[in-house]
Amino acid sequence: QVQLVESGGGLVQAGGSLRLSCAASGNIFKINAMGWYRQAPGKQRELVARITSGGSPNYGDSAKGRFSISRGTAKNTVYLQMNNLKPEDTAVYYCKAEEITSYWGPGTQVTVSS
């Protein structure tokens, strides 16, 4: 079983930055991809960013060139650098790890004040 823990969320002012971290532990065979998703109240969960084991990133429209995902494969970690944050970015951010099955972290709250 793979367990994920997110960190780095919090309260920031519009225009500020945050760096989210996710660390995987447990019975890891090979993580093929890791990603960040978010869900705001009353909204559907959406893709923010995803990166494969080969280092190929994909971004959801919500990222709009402001976010950057990176991965430390050896430590089974993934990061999300978020710049120029907007109130619309307020949501719970979830880390996802993909093997044959997928694993989700418990989420970390990001709140952007205007």
Q: How confident is the model at residue 73, as a pLDDT?
A: 64
3-state secondary structure of 89: helix
Residue pair 81/93 in contact by the 8 Å Cβ criterion: no
pLDDT in tens, the chain (114 residues): 899 999 999 999 999 999 999 999 998 888 899 999 999 999 999 999 999 988 999 999 988 789 999 987 666 899 999 999 999 999 999 999 999 999 999 999 999 999
Q: How confident is the model at residue 75, as a pLDDT?
A: 64
Report CA torsion sign: 59, 32, 25, 96: positive
* Closest listed residue to residue 36, CA positions, set 70, 11, 2: 70
Q: Kindly report the number of other CB atoms within 10 A of residue 60's CB atom.
A: 16
Q: How confident is the model at residue 74, as a pLDDT?
A: 60
Rg (CA), the chain: 13
